[in-house]
Structure 1
């Protein structure tokens, strides 16, 4: 049933304004009305997430090759700004396991100053990406790529924790490449410490059992506390934060710029780009997860700008790269958060923990933190999604395995780029196969919409006209399908006196496709064939005009039927004029 014109609901397709795109969700929440009940809920959620983030932030920092306090600085400063300025209501920011490999490599190559500089530059890149509105495009990363590189990172994190998990003593530095690392670790297995292994296993067991039987309890914090008490009570000979790092400070450092030089900037630029790319992907994935859990919608470009600002300030305070974290964001949602104040509260609670309990952190055994990261690594590997993609199709399996293997054995950035390229090529191939060029029989009524064609009787005079042929192009007409359509048009463009191309089923047309039509139009014109194009949207018609497909060489109509009637009427007029000329007296 057709809706009357005066009762149709207007839909506004206007592009969002700058304020709509970049207003932080904090402002939106406050405008909606933020009461005491919501504030209490956010405080409880913030405390819950802070308890989870406390051991995790230190463990990630240690795995990155820096001191544990830098992980706390990142969660406090970066996490606060991500929540305050971000485009997601529930995003929790801080150090992420996905960055471990990149950060550790950057520290080895360029030192702490190089890491801080790369983090600062990556923040600038993210701010620029946000204001250039690139967040929409980053969300186009194929699902097999995200599953593949996340699983690859999980494997790398797991292997990076084997030394502390087993309490191994290495004769030299631990290699970076995973095969070399495993070879060195295997050679050091005889030096394994039973005490370290005991604490690590106890930590993993407590986390797993707490998640299964008491999911509301802070399993990670409980595991670290129990392992620390066990090591202290039994006097176990294991490394602790105090023995390796001398503990953690009780205050935030004063902000300071890292050492700047053109040579240093050029050296760390690849790391900065990798930080920005991974941070953008990770944060937007986390925001999408939060949207799925709550039914809300985040502002991707605002989120990128906030992530960039957070990384700039995290670098100034001596932190590592910050991004949205999926596990902590999900914990925040499940804990009953109402808005960004929960994430801000999480950072404030972490600061209070550091101010009040910093001396106790010296007693935390490193095998316990290794156990925490082993659980994190296991959870990062989406086993069911991995298996489903392997079974789904050869294309998805190829993208998944290429990304996974390159991430593990080569480089994270290379894995993402190659996986994305493979995914894009497979998608182009699939889309190119969907386009069709079919012979169409014109209908009697030019006013009937395409969706009702099968209900309209045929007009014999239109069906049997030997001089007019109608072809309908269906599907996305773009560079991937241009050669296929071009080959068909080359075969039919000079067979009749008139060729009608129906574009009513073409949703999009790019410049390559428009150039293909322009070539067919030139060929038809040279052969004396009149070309009619019907059913084009304004955008498609504008693209065709830009590439020279325009009157008088090509005519445009609303439907194939109207084009056929126009051609027949003109043909009849020509015949009549010819008859009158032949029958007239030349002397008159």
Structure 2
């Protein structure tokens, strides 16, 4: 993988830097409350979210494959990281994050970036909406100021916990949260360029500090004071046993990080008309996730909302992402002691709004309205994300999507018996030419349409074998509309060829496409069929087939399937010699 900065900074000038500085400043300010909120919701200290924003944000911008990508902690990671912290602990989360980084780099090096894009939309919408529900409900306790709640991994257990402690609602916390929420909603409408989350956080914190100090839980009272520096590098304690123990959470982090970052990059492409390098993006994300845990940071990925804000603010290059990280570092260095006074109730509305925005509610409703199999995949993935975990949800969603795809593709495959239509100027083969009085007993011609893969291969063979029980001399398969064949399809085609060969017949194939043709070469089936039995034009294939006829069997035949039949069926007719059969009169096309 070659990292060249020429294209990304080509034509860069002072005006470009000014744009990057302004956009980086705006996004950096927005990222501060989000970084702390995401960390708290993930079950770790708020400063870890800021460390992630600084380190990962700078590295992703420098090494990633998207010009405008902003990286850092995201809402999508919250349920995953919280579950890992609950089950494995914070230290092991860092190791799992490091391992996920290695996996992302490997995925990028093996050019799996494009593969990640093939995850079905209903699966993505389903788990994204499920994550949004988990985030939103997870903030109810802080919004209401409930205390002494026991945190669980299970959704229903957490809902039960809320119900048990609902009587301990703190009116001061509710008031603080509502003040923050109002400003989050109103600020973008009144002042579009001012980050509402920061305004809401500052005003609600000031109100709580002045009017009712010590009445609401704060970052300082819950997690202790936030240090105003980044910690030194700490190398993770890696061993084979440790890595095997954490491979599952590492895979989950890598998978979600890859999906989220590439989705964000696609959004950026759509907004700017640029094109990202998906494999380079995975490598950049991987390196960032390998380095960030060394400073105590949590896993990071591309942040869709912050990336969109970066673009809308006029970013000209990846330097805006670097500046955004520097801004967060300066704020941490200068104002960290004051952040300890922020009420947890002020953080809750920020995350609730994030959850609302990432819920994909319109897309969810749109897919649901179709009432198709995809709707079932959507709902299944959503419910499993909420009530079990993301890994199970995605696995089941992908399996269901695969089953639906196979079912749809199997319906599309058709094998139709045909004969040339003498009334057509182009000599097309047609199914309506087949009837009781017109059907050659020695030559069977079939058009095959659709992908020939494991889901339909058995039906393909059965449909052919059921029709050729009379063991024709020649089976001609016109495969111009077979774009893909897998090993199972090849095996069933081989079974047909061997069956005919055993009974003295031959298989002829015309107009086969490149992928199936290459597969037959690799497996050697083209040698079994015969290299000279493949034709680019069906007319030539029919001419070849006519020369394979048992002329004695043609005598007296009244089926009149081909134009040549009137000569071949006469009792005293001299058999048509190969050189007398003109392929030009039998050109066949679709």
Name the counterpart of 2:489. 513
Structure 1 residue 487 corresponds to structure 2 residue 487: no
Cα distance in 2, alignment partners of residues 207 and 47 from structure 1: 19
Cα distance in 2, alignment partners of residues 541 and 400 from structure 1: 37
What displacement does 1:262 show? 3.9
Alignment of 1:305-324 (within 5 A): 305-324=283-302
Alignment of 1:499-578 (within 5 A): 499-551=475-527, 553-554=529-530, 555-569=533-547, 571=549
What displacement does 1:198 show? 0.6
Name the counterpart of 1:195. 172
Name the counterpart of 2:310. 332
Q: Would the aligned equivalents of 1:515 and 1:547 in 2 still touch at CA under 8 Å?
A: no
Residue from 214, 219, 227 that aligns with 1:241: 219
Q: Would the aligned equivalents of 2:421 and 2:429 in 1 still touch at CA under 8 Å?
A: no
Displacement over 6 Å in runs of 4+: 443-448, 572-576, 578-581
Structure 1 residue 28 corresponds to structure 2 residue 7: yes
Q: Alignment length, in residue pairs?
A: 548
Name the counterpart of 1:285. 263
Cα distance in 1, alignment partners of residues 424 and 474 from structure 2: 18
Name the counterpart of 1:584. none
Give the match's secondary structure for 2:455. Answer: helix
Structure 1 residue 402 corresponds to structure 2 residue 380: yes
Cα distance in 1, alignment partners of residues 226 and 474 from structure 2: 82
Task: Assess, with a 3 A threshold, how the Cα gap between structure 1 residues 534 and 43 changes in structure 2: closer, same or farther.
Answer: same
Q: Would the aligned equivalents of 1:58 and 1:68 in 2 still touch at CA under 8 Å?
A: yes
Give the match's secondary structure for 1:476. Answer: coil
Cα distance in 1, alignment partners of residues 216 and 239 from structure 2: 41
- Listed one character per residue, the Cα deviations across residues 439-463 of structure 1 (whole Å, up to 9, x for unaligned) are 2333679997xxx9599xx9xxxx8
- Listed one character per residue, the Cα deviations across residues 34-64 of structure 1 (whole Å, up to 9, x for unaligned) are 1222221111111111111110000000111
Provide the TM-score with structure 2 as the length reference.
0.88
Cα distance in 1, alignment partners of residues 535 and 380 from structure 2: 48
- Listed one character per residue, the Cα deviations across residues 138-190 of structure 1 (whole Å, up to 9, x for unaligned) are 111110111111111111111211111100122x5222211111111111111
Cα distance in 2, alignment partners of residues 403 and 579 from structure 1: 70
Name the counterpart of 1:11. none
- Listed one character per residue, the Cα deviations across residues 480-531 of structure 1 (whole Å, up to 9, x for unaligned) are 1212211111123354322210111111111111111111111111222221
What displacement does 1:65 show? 1.2
Q: Would the aligned equivalents of 1:442 and 1:561 in 2 still touch at CA under 8 Å?
A: no
Structure 1 residue 218 corresponds to structure 2 residue 182: no
What displacement does 1:572 show? 9.6
Structure 1 residue 122 corresponds to structure 2 residue 97: no
What displacement does 1:567 show? 2.6
Give the match's secondary structure for 1:320. Answer: coil
Name whichever of 285-294 and 407-416 sits farther off. Answer: 285-294
Q: Which runs of 5+ in 2 are unaligned?
A: 555-567, 576-590
Cα distance in 1, alignment partners of residues 439 and 38 from structure 2: 75
Task: Assess, with a 3 A threshold, how the Cα gap between structure 1 residues 453 and 225 changes in structure 2: closer, same or farther.
Answer: farther
- CA-based RMSD of the aligned residues comes to 2.5
Name the counterpart of 2:155. 178
Structure 1 residue 473 corresponds to structure 2 residue 452: no
Give the match's secondary structure for 2:151. Answer: coil
Structure 1 residue 384 corresponds to structure 2 residue 359: no
Q: Would the aligned equivalents of 1:76 and 1:350 in 2 still touch at CA under 8 Å?
A: yes
Q: Which runs of 5+ in 1 are unaligned?
A: 1-17, 582-588
Task: Assess, with a 3 A threshold, how the Cα gap between structure 1 residues 561 and 178 changes in structure 2: closer, same or farther.
Answer: same
Provide the TM-score with structure 1 as the length reference.
0.88
